[in-house]
Amino acid sequence: MIKRSARAILLTDNGELLLIKRTKPGQQPYWTAPGGGVENTDASVEAALYRELAEELGARVADASQVFLVSMPAEGGVSLQHIFAARLSKIDEQARSGEEYADPSRGGYELERVDLRSEALSAVDLKPAVLKEFILANRDALLAEVALAP
């Protein structure tokens, strides 16, 4: 069984990478790219990305393009994460509405911004680690992909 998800390397006009800091009781915090699972009702993986960004961040993005694919073993099969590069066009944190916000036992979902043009990302425990490696190795290309070239 393949479990698909869509995540965004989501950049602001200032070249900041928007990440979600996850805190769970009894665990060290870690960061993840915004996004989530593809549902049967989603018309496509890209449609799932737009829906997830609206739910998790209250965000709209401009022209997302898939730039990376992460495959990992998962319970009962394979997890396939479609990673898109996108530029943030609007955000309303008050509109966050995903089910994770209704259940405090799931921990915290804090939005953080990391300057992609600096070395700040090196200190962040971004999961999966292969995504962090990809972003660091391709930062100039990612900035150019969303028209924020240095």
Does 22 have pLDDT greater than 90? yes
- 87-139 pLDDT per residue, tens: 999 998 888 876 666 677 778 889 999 999 999 999 999 999 999 999 999 99
Rounded mean pLDDT of 5-23?
95
Instruction: Specify the CATH number for the domain of residue 83.
Output: 3.90.79.10
Residue 12 inside a domain? The answer is: yes
Residue 14 inside a domain? The answer is: yes
DSSP-derived pairing of the beta strands 77-91 and 2-11? parallel
Domain limits for position 71: 2-145
Q: What are the residues whose beta carbons fall under 8 Å from the beta carbon of 74, sequence distance 6 or more?
A: 3
**How far apart, in Å, are the Cα atoms of 120 and each of 8, 113, 123?**
18, 10, 6
- When divided into structural domains, the chain yields a total of 1
Residue 150 inside a domain? The answer is: no
pTM of the model: 0.91
Residue 28 inside a domain? The answer is: yes
Helix/strand number for the chain, H first, E second: 3, 8
